[in-house]
Chains A and B, each alone.
Chain A
Amino acid sequence: MSLDRRQFIAIGGAAVAGMTLAPGLRLMELAEARSPEESVTTLQRWGLLIDTTKCATGCTSCVDACHTENGVQSHNRPATDPQWIRKVTLKDKQTGYVQNLPLMCQHCEHPPCVDVCPTGASFKRADGIVLVDRHICIGCRYCMMACPYKARSFVHEDTTGQKPHAPRGKGCVESCTLCVHKIDKGENTTACAEACRKEGHNAIIFGDLKDPKSEISKRLAAQASQQLRPDLKLNNGVRYQGL
């Protein structure tokens, strides 16, 4: 049996396609939602991509949605009210150009809050989400001092109206959980990203940074993005575009 050049290329191409397909299928398996009794793994790393050029001035829908979702209530005392996410306005003093961006826990790969915690309450989950275990937190607030983003808040007052999925109480430090209850349910979205999408801004994208097929990974691979304070080498899970 002899093959001409064209047949040889066709067979060779099919073989290569088969080889690349197999790892692709494996990636699909890994990316599938885990069952409730399985623990989280390092196969995922959840993150956010925030496009500041799409973030609208005066819009607080992400902040409102976050605080509604997690039962974070204001006591009309801005100095001590907890905030899991806040809007930050940046102004270039020379040109007068104004930018808005939402700022929350950056879910660092090397979180300073975890380094300084004396009890082990501040920890990073295997899938990259940085959390506070309130059962262990003694409210010392070292993590608040260590965080370069001022992402954490101390709960100064008695809490009411907690959501069943988001317990929170006086005397503990808290911050953005990346809507971990939604992730564990397999919903794969956050309240802020959902709210921004509903407003039509689409400035916040949630996804798996380790899945090359996710929208967030594709965007990060195709366009320029940056971390806040990259000099600290924390490898943030939250990335920004348009800064």
Chain B
Amino acid sequence: MNKLLRSMAFVAALTTGGSLAVSAVAADGYEKDPVAGVRHVPRPIHHEPQGEKCVAPTSEMRRNHMEKILHQRDQTMHQGIRTAQYSLKNCVDCHADPKTGSVLGKEGFCESCHRYAAVQIDCFSCHSAQRDAKAETAPARALTAAPRNHGTDSAKGNKP
């Protein structure tokens, strides 16, 4: 019994040591949540989009934007249907960083969030990540951090 307890304590000590080491190594790049008091991957920072409102509610777009783009992609390619809703070009025109005109880069709308979620984007190896020159006349808004509710889904459910 005593032996068992001792081995359990050893395992616990190892685990604690391990986790401490991990948090110590990763501490620089992590962000402390003032409410929960836990460390997070820094939330993505991006610019406010230029348009009035998005083509679908944010919660819907956050989860299903890839499916909507995929559907539109096949329609555009094979049937020549080029409606603005769910077109990748339309996404880029609204969401591009006013400074760089791009959705890529550290503060780019697509890249910052995809980096946070650790999901690779293949779109922009072929597609232009730059806003169409004609769309650049729209008034740009100031740089803001992502809204606080941006991370609530992940905070509640699948913690990063």
Interface residues of A (CB under 8 A from B): 36-40, 123, 125-127, 131, 133-135, 159, 162-165, 167-170, 172, 180-181, 183-185
Contact = CB atoms under 8 A, between A and B. Distances in A.
A165 B78 contact: no
Interface in B77-110: 77-84, 89, 92
B89 to A, nearest CB: 5
B80 A167 contact: no
B79 A40 contact: yes
A164 B81 CA distance: 16
Given A164-B132, A169-B126, A135 B73 contact: yes
Interface in B111-160: 125-128, 130, 132
Given A167-B127, A168-B126, A37 B78 contact: no
Interface residues on B, range: 10 to 19
Contact of A164 (B73, B79, B83, B128): B128
B77 A159 contact: no
B89 A40 contact: no
Question: Which 10 interchain pairs have the tightest Cβ spacing?
Answer: A169-B126, A39-B79, A40-B80, A167-B126, A167-B127, A162-B128, A164-B132, A164-B128, A169-B125, A184-B80
A37 B126 contact: no
Interface string B52-84: 000000000000000000000111011111111
B82 A184 contact: yes
Chain B CB count within 10 A is highest, among A40, A125, A135, for A135
Contact of A170 (B74, B82, B83, B125): B125
Given A135-B73, A164-B89, A165-B89, A39 B127 contact: no
Contacts of B73: 135
A159 B80 CA distance: 24
Contacts of B84: 36
Contact of B81 (A37, A127, A165): A37
Contacts of A133: 77-78
B81 A39 contact: yes
A164 B80 contact: no
A25 B138 CA distance: 42
Given A40-B80, A134-B126, A184-B80, 14 more contacts: A36-B82, A36-B83, A39-B75, A40-B79, A125-B79, A135-B73, A162-B128, A163-B128, A164-B92, A164-B132, A167-B126, A168-B126, A183-B80, A185-B82
A39 B74 CA distance: 12
12 contacts: A37-B83, A40-B80, A125-B78, A125-B79, A134-B126, A135-B77, A159-B126, A164-B92, A164-B130, A164-B132, A165-B89, A167-B126
Contacts of A183: 80
Nearest to A163: B128
Chain A CB count within 10 A is highest, among B74, B80, B125, for B80
B128 A127 contact: no
Contacts of B79: 39-40, 125-126
A234 B103 CA distance: 43
A148 B14 CA distance: 69
A136 to B, nearest CB: 9
Contacts of A165: 89
A170 B122 CA distance: 12
B148 to A, nearest CB: 33
Contacts of B127: 162, 164, 167
A40 B77 CA distance: 11
A37 B85 CA distance: 10
Contacts of A36: 81-84
